[in-house]
């Protein structure tokens, strides 16, 4: 008797594929957490530096040297990463009266407008899901992606004083910009919880897939953001391109409507937009079986996100060493 | 003798200067990139790709620089504007990459190229200590451990919870330096950051840096103030146009630098390339005259108490042009600054684009010795030209209002005075 028959679930059936993915992603998260805690438990943060100073780290600076210590440095500078994110969060709501409430008001108002326009006026189908929840389940990842992308793209320029005066792995700056938007995402997701309680909407097991989907949105924002932030240093044109991309993206992504209204033969093409997969995934995870998932498109989106992220890191690493000279 | 802690071999750094005339900056735009791309494709077809690009010129900020620094050395890096000092520090602190060459560093490096890098105006003093510490490479635990010390050093206890945007500039600098002063690297790289802040605080900073060096740490220090460099460092590296022209004990290096300053003397200052600023206006000549004898001869030797006329010729034109010059004694200590921006009713009204500034000193109240003048012109709300060592002059003994001023006294200035015997 094996596990499958015991639970009465066939893990490998297509309809249970998301469950499998969710299970795997949770496993990966637990593993990562274990590794992290093990490392920091082994030696205190202070010890990290102390042990370095007794061993006298040897550093070689050379032209065109692909810095072998880069990833180690990235780990060493993790506190700076944390401090930069902390600074941006602190600064964002200084001298505002309602402070952190802004993180709630913006998505809430957008959701209201979208519900009225797409749900009430255009009367788009929602498969018996309350339209506010339909919109908000998509609004969450989209706002996260849009904010993260624009913050990330400007991050190097707005930290140019750091870039030209201190050394640290530059990857920290755009990455911490994405983290800041992630905090906003967490805050505004309380609205979704409130909405679900209000509409007495029962969550499904698909919710387990959310961490994976958030990681996907994170990767998409970081990938795009790395491209734009590096290009922005050389060509300031991207300062104007990014807001346009974000605005445009809101309409070509299924935020105000369900992607089910896209004709079947165009859906694979539509999924070339990486956020389509993420948003559909979010809807599927939160709303459950009321929305049918289009798997080929989802897989395509994942592929595109990975491509974006890997090429983004590659381009960033290649141009990084000239940042201080041209910023 | 220990192993070198820093070993620099054949280090070179190239910058490409763009000669495009105004309007577009060096950042370039996407349009340029696209059109240039097409141009190069076109060139490939027409086989002209070997011709040199007239719009871009290579500039070697550092050229084949090699030296070694041992543990515990305190090295002063000196040289004129554009000699490559800052580029060298930037490469050593890994901000930018060399074009050629190799550096081997053994130990943790902290560099201080600017006071208060990463300070955020909206954050409180306390928050900025943590942020700045992290940026300079301290761990959170380390900052916490030294927090009280840092606060005490900076003397801003009362304002720890005030955003730094409400700080006076003095407080700001003090706080920023306090954080940096508590770094504990093996190698400390400092770029002329002590030029800011009040004298008392400067003294405190120098004291702190001396302490650091006593602990056996290595210091690399850039400054224009030869007195400070000599007090702090025991070795010197003198850079000229991107190459090491002297690498010796600090006193020999400083002497070589001072001699080179005078040798570079050229009546037509337009030939000089070691200048900073926008360049809309450029100093062409700085001459000194004894005012009594009309504006006739150019002089470089005066007596204490002589009336002196300092004339600064320039080329170009610019809105709201202002002239500022500073007299330095030989070691680089500033003695007096004169600025045309601070008006007095005794000034004669300015004539537009006369091509020169004249400053009249009724009495030259400097003690006997050798002096030099740095000149800066600004206009359009920006620095347009800055020249070091634009003119030199000697002062010999003389009389001020009947009182003899002799060469063997202390200090740099003489005050006219009167004694009474009671």
Q: Give the nearest chain B residue to A167 (CA atoms).
A: B95
Contacts of A166 in chain B (CB under 8 A): 93, 95, 111, 113, 117-118, 135-136
Contacts of B120 in chain A (CB under 8 A): 87, 91
Packed helices B140-154 and B125-135: angle between N→C axes, nearest 10 degrees: 130
Residue of B93, B102, B130 lying closest to A167 (CB–CB): B93
Q: Give the nearest chain A residue to B163 (CA atoms).
A: A94
What are the structural domains of chain B?
Answer: 60-262 (3.40.50.300), 269-405 (2.70.50.60)
Cβ of A61 within 8 Å of Cβ of B92? The answer is yes
Residue ranges in A78-209 assigned as alpha helix (H): 78-92, 102-114, 131-158, 160-165, 172-198
What integer is the mean pLDDT of A110-139? 85
Q: What is the C-alpha separation between B347 and A287, in angstroms, rounded?
A: 80
pLDDT of residue A91: 86
pLDDT surpassing 70 at residue B40:
no
> How many CA atoms, within 13 angstroms, populate the side-chain half-sphere of residue A115?
16
Q: Which band of pLDDT confidence, cut at 50, 70 and 90, is reported for residue A54?
A: very low
Contacts of B31 in chain A (CB under 8 A): 237
Q: What is the pTM of this model?
A: 0.74
Lowest-pLDDT range of A11-15, A113-117, A298-302, B27-31:
A11-15
Interface predicted TM-score of the whole assembly (ipTM), two decimals: 0.75
pLDDT surpassing 80 at residue B223:
yes
Residue of A56, A61, A162 lying closest to B135 (CB–CB): A162
Contacts of A237 in chain B (CB under 8 A): 29-31
Q: Which band of pLDDT confidence, cut at 50, 70 and 90, is reported for residue B329?
A: confident
Q: What is the C-alpha separation between B326 and B336, in angstroms, rounded?
A: 6
pLDDT of residue A152: 93
Supply B324's token pair: 């500022």
Query: How far B174 CA lies from chain A's nearest CA (Å)?
Result: 19
What integer is the mean pLDDT of B68-82? 88
Cβ of B139 within 8 Å of Cβ of A161? The answer is no
Closest CA to B186 of A54, A25, A129, A234: A54
Residue of A58, A167, A238 lying closest to B94 (CB–CB): A167
Q: Using one digit for the tens of pLDDT, what is the confidence trace for B265-301?
A: 666 788 887 788 888 888 988 888 887 655 567 778 8
**Best interface-test mutation with B: which of A55, A59, A85 has the largest number of B CBs within 10 A?**
A59
pLDDT of residue B209: 78
Query: How far A129 CA lies from chain B's nearest CA (Å)?
Result: 44
In eight-state DSSP terms, residue A115 is I
pLDDT surpassing 90 at residue A216:
yes
Q: Using one digit for the tens of pLDDT, what is the confidence trace for B335-357?
A: 999 998 888 888 887 666 678 88
Q: Give the nearest chain A residue to B123 (CA atoms).
A: A91
What integer is the mean pLDDT of B381-385? 88
In this predicted model, which residue has the larger pLDDT, A81 or B50? A81
Contacts of A49 in chain B (CB under 8 A): 108, 139, 142
Q: How far is CA A317 from the centre of its chain?
A: 20
Cβ of A236 within 8 Å of Cβ of B29? The answer is yes
Cβ of A165 within 8 Å of Cβ of B30? The answer is no
Q: Which band of pLDDT confidence, cut at 50, 70 and 90, is reported for residue A25?
A: low
Q: Which band of pLDDT confidence, cut at 50, 70 and 90, is reported for residue A154?
A: very high
What integer is the mean pLDDT of A180-188? 90
Q: Using an 8 Å Cβ cutoff, are B265 and B388 in contact?
A: no
Q: Using one digit for the tens of pLDDT, what is the confidence trace for A254-303?
A: 888 888 888 888 888 888 888 998 998 888 888 876 667 788 888 999 99
């Amino acid at each position: 008797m094996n596990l499958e028959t015991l639970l009465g679930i066939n893990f490998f059936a297509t309809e249970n594929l998301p469950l499998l993915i969710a299970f795997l992603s949770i496993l990966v998260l637990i593993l990562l957490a274990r590794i992290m805690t093990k490392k920091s438990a082994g030696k205190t943060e202070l010890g990290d530096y102390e042990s370095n100073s007794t061993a006298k780290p040897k550093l070689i600076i050379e032209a065109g040297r692909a810095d072998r210590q880069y990833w180690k440095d990235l780990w060493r500078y993790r506190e700076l990463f944390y401090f930069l994110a902390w600074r941006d969060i602190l600064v964002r709501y200084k001298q505002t009266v309602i402070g952190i409430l802004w993180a709630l008001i913006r998505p809430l108002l957008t959701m209201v407008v979208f519900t009225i326009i797409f749900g009430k006026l255009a009367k788009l189908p929602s498969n018996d899901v309350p339209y506010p929840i339909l919109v908000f389940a998509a609004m969450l990842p989209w706002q996260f992606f849009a904010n993260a992308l624009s913050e990330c793209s400007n991050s190097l320029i707005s930290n140019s004083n750091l870039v030209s005066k201190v050394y640290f792995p530059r990857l920290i700056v755009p990455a911490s910009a994405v983290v800041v938007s992630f905090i906003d995402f967490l805050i505004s997701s309380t609205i979704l919880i409130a909405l679900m309680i209000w509409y007495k909407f029962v969550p499904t097991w698909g919710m387990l897939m959310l961490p994976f989907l958030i990681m996907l949105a994170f990767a998409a924002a970081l990938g795009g953001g790395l491209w734009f932030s590096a290009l922005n240093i050389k060509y300031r044109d991207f300062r104007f391109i990014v807001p346009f991309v974000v605005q445009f993206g809101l309409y070509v992504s299924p935020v105000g409507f369900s992607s089910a209204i896209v004709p079947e033969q165009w859906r694979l093409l539509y999924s070339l937009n990486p956020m389509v997969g993420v948003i559909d995934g979010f809807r599927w995870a939160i709303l459950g079986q009321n929305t049918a998932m289009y798997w080929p498109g989802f897989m395509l989106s994942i592929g595109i996100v990975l491509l974006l992220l890997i090429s983004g890191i590659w381009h960033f690493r290649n141009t990084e060493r000239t940042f201080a000279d041209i910023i | 003798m220990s192993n070198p802690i820093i070993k620099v071999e054949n280090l070179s750094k190239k910058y490409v200067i763009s000669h495009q005339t105004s309007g577009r900056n060096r950042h370039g735009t996407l349009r340029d990139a696209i059109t240039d791309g097409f141009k190069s494709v076109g060139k490939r077809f027409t086989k002209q790709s070997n011709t040199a690009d007239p719009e871009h010129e290579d500039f070697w900020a550092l050229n084949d620089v090699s030296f070694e620094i041992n543990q515990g050395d305190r090295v002063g890096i000196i040289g004129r504007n554009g000699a490559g000092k800052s580029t060298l520090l930037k490469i050593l602190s890994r901000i930018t990459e060399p074009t050629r060459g190799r550096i081997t560093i053994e130990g943790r490096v902290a560099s201080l190229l600017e006071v208060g890098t990463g300070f955020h105006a909206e954050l409180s003093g306390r928050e900025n200590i943590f942020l700045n510490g992290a940026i300079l490479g301290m761990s959170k635990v380390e900052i916490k451990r030294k927090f009280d010390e840092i606060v005490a050093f900076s003397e801003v206890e009362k304002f720890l919870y005030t955003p730094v945007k409400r700080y006076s500039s003095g407080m700001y600098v003090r706080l920023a330096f306090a954080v940096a002063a508590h770094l504990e690297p093996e190698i400390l790289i400092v770029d002329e950051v002590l030029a800011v802040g009040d004298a008392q605080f400067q003294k405190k900073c120098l004291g702190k840096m001396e302490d650091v060096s006593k602990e056996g740490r290595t210091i690399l220090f850039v400054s224009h103030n030869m007195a400070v460099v000599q007090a702090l460092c025991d070795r010197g590296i003198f850079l000229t146009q991107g190459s090491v022209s002297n690498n010796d004990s600090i006193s020999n290096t400083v002497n070589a630098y001072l001699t080179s300053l005078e040798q570079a003397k050229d009546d037509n200052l337009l030939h000089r390339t070691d200048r900073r600023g926008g360049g809309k206006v450029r100093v062409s000549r700085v001459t000194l005259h004894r005012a009594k004898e009309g504006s006739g001869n150019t002089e470089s030797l005066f007596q204490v108490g002589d009336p002196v006329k300092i004339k600064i010729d320039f080329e170009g034109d610019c809105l709201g042009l202002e002239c500022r010059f500073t007299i330095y004694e030989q070691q680089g200590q500033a003695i007096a600054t004169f600025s045309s921006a601070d008006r007095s009713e005794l000034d004669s009204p300015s004539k537009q684009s006369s091509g020169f500034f004249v400053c009249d000193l009724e009495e030259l109240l400097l003690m006997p010795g050798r002096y030099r003048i740095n000149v800066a012109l600004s206009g359009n709300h920006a620095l347009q030209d800055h020249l070091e060592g634009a003119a030199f002059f000697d002062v010999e003994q003389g009389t001020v209002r009947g009182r003899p001023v002799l060469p063997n006294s202390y200090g740099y200035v003489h005050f006219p005075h009167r004694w009474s015997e009671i």
